[in-house]
Chains A and B, each alone.
Chain A
């Protein structure tokens, strides 16, 4: 399939191949967590708390005696679910808003641009914290907060693409055939604008994992006993001198995943040759 060609090309570089392998591993953890985890993630064993890493517990146990490896495997599920669904919502909304604003222009465009520029001027974490302060903590609100925090980026990117594309002759030629706005936007403009937005979305997923971990660290994300890498690190801070593995392993999981996403995204940009289009917004 032609759509998979850039991915194939990206995997051919060493950087792309390595990062893709890590990503496959993380996704496998998330999907097959019940099969891969040796213990349940929420079984407490207080006498066995803060056990060092060893044969029984590869990554040791936490302050409640829960198996850290199992919690990290399940934590991949939380992190990926939240990050991927939040970014998907954000990309979908950003594509729609950006396409409408870029295509129709006028007062609607000015209104969208004003709001987008306003949110763009704040760091994402601040927007997410403000939103969570309003709607309350929890996994769903983390998702909503992250998707709104990244909306500006995708709206801007899509709008810039559409504004450049709408002056192409084929748009006028299609209108001259009698095509309506709907046909022009969905059959011509969006398919041509899609690639950079999808890649930006992929890169933002890495940032979203960090944002989810940050919110989890503050206790605003997933509520116990649901395992979340950020929340696990947060509980590890109290034990940092007694059981440093509690904070080290979730931290490594976050770092590895995010680095892999960034490297793979970079390889994909290279393969698609779209660095300029991403920068143009």
Chain B
């Protein structure tokens, strides 16, 4: 066990061998089938930094987010927050700890109860946590929260349906910040917003991070956004971590990460590039693949890839890759 001081310097969240299985069927007529949404993922989230998780839909990144916050229980593996193993906590202790770890959701349209005014939605975190406030304190808290995310206190008595998507997402962020957490999981916070609004939300998240000293785990399917916003990037494919990039500048060496990056359009017509399309299809998540999950679509796949699963290896400088034949 490290000392408390070392922990303050190092990682806020540590994920080790995290696995989550879902099963379907198992009734009278259907055989039971099991899929691994998250497959032995290990990841450290350094304090005060933005760690990005990127991958296409269905790769298990949202499940990973829910496991990190223990909204789902892991099948195997551990998540520690500030040195505390989440699985060891009682429901009461977990409730207390939730003050320190919060989440911003993908869909701002349904993230607030339609019957709640914005004021009531912002006060709910305190109510749930049993924080007693006088009417004056409550008013001050709510005013502070709403102006922190750049909205006018006049909106407090509105209902969610009276707000735009961007405004709703700002309320979602304010609600997540109400209990003064140190760690935020951002589950595709901009995916359902207009592009012009996306930039505003990302700016807001960046300035809040500086102001409040937050640590982010940023989940997205947009590798270019993740590379812009994050200090470290984890590329996931079919529940597995394929590559961990130490910084925004690092060139990905995994064939899948390359394909992901290639699939982004270049807005500058003079810099036109050739898009290499991936052949093959994503294997069914129910298929238990013995080798590399990407082997079926990989241009460099060999027999070894199909037989043996590559382990995550350090290439130096925090750049990790799970590939038998990395690109140079």
Q: Is the CB of A172 within 8 A of B113?
A: no
The answer to whether B129 touches A178 (Cβ under 8 A) is yes
Q: Is A183 a contact of B110 with CB atoms below 8 Å?
A: no
Q: How far is the CA of A141 from the CA of B115 in the complex (A)?
A: 39
Bound-state CA distance A244–B107 (Å) is 66
CB contact list, A191-215 vs B, under 8 A: 191-192
Q: Which of A177, A180, A191 lies at the interface centre, i.e. has the most chain B CB atoms within 10 A of its CB?
A: A177
Is B115 in contact with A191, judged by CB distance below 8 angstroms? Answer: yes
Q: How far is the CB of B316 from chain A (nearest CB, A)?
A: 37
Given contacts A169-B105, A172-B105, A173-B175, whether A178 and B98 have CB atoms under 8 Å apart is: yes
Q: Mark A156-174, 1 if CB is under 8 A from B, else 0.
A: 0000000000001110111
Residues facing B in A137-195 (CB within 8 A) are 168-170, 172-180, 183, 188, 191-192
Main secondary structure of the interface of A (DSSP, over half): helix
Known: A169-B105, A170-B110, A172-B71. A177 touches B124 (CB 8 A): yes
The answer to whether A170 and B179 have CB atoms under 8 Å apart is no
Asked if B179 contacts A173 (CB within 8 A), the reply is no
Q: Contacts A177-B129, A188-B113, A191-B115 given; indicate if A169 touches B103 (C-beta within 8 A).
A: no
Q: Decide if A177 touches B179 in the complex (CB within 8 Å).
A: yes
Q: What is the bound-complex CA distance between A240 and B124, given in angstroms?
A: 65
The size of the chain A interface, using a CB distance under 8 A, is 16
Given A168-B110, A169-B105, A192-B115, A176:B129 Cβ within 8 A: no
Contact A178:B99 (CB < 8 A) given known A169-B105, A173-B175 = yes
Q: Is B291 an interface residue (CB 8 A)?
A: no
Digitize B125-139: 1 where CB-to-A-CB distance is under 8 Å, 0 elsewhere: 100110000000000
Residue with the greatest number of chain A CB neighbours at <10 A, chosen from B69, B125, B179:
B125
Which of A178, A180, A183 has the most chain B CB atoms inside 10 A of its CB?
Answer: A178
CA separation between A172 and B71, bound complex, in Å? 8
B111 near A170 with CB under 8 A, answer yes
In terms of DSSP, what is the predominant structure of the interface of chain B? loop
Q: Which residues of B contact A174 (CB under 8 A)?
A: 113, 124, 128
Is the pair A169, B107 in contact by a Cβ cutoff of 8 Å? Answer: yes
B318 within 8 A of A: no
Q: What B residues does A176 contact at CB under 8 A?
A: 69, 71, 98, 102-103
Cβ of B322: which chain A residues have Cβ within 8 Å of it?
none
Q: How far is the CA of A79 from the CA of B112 in the complex (A)?
A: 43
Closest to A175 in B: B71
Which residues of the other chain, A, contact B179 by a CB distance below 8 angstroms? 177
Q: How far is the CB of B305 from chain A (nearest CB, A)?
A: 37
> Measured between alpha carbons, how far is A128 from B214 in the docked complex, in Å?
62
Bound form: Cα–Cα A174–B125 in Å: 8
A180–B96 Cα gap in the complex (Å)? 12
Question: Which of B99, B115, B172 gathers most chain A CB within 10 Å?
Answer: B115
Q: State whether the Cβ of B95 lies closer than 8 Å to any Cβ in chain A.
A: yes
B114 within 8 A of A: yes
Q: Mark B154-188, 1 if CB is under 8 A from A, else 0.
A: 00000000000000000010010001000000000
Q: Which residues of A sit under 8 angstroms from B95, Cβ to Cβ?
A: 178, 180
Q: 0/1 per residue, B64-77, Cβ < 8 Å to A?
A: 00000101000000
Q: Give 17 pairs: A residue, B residue, CB < 8 Å, sorted on A.
A: A169-B107, A170-B111, A173-B111, A173-B172, A173-B175, A174-B124, A175-B71, A176-B71, A176-B103, A177-B98, A177-B102, A177-B124, A178-B99, A179-B124, A179-B128, A180-B91, A180-B95
The 10 closest A-B pairs by CB, nearest first: A178-B95, A178-B98, A169-B110, A179-B128, A169-B111, A177-B128, A170-B113, A177-B125, A168-B110, A169-B105
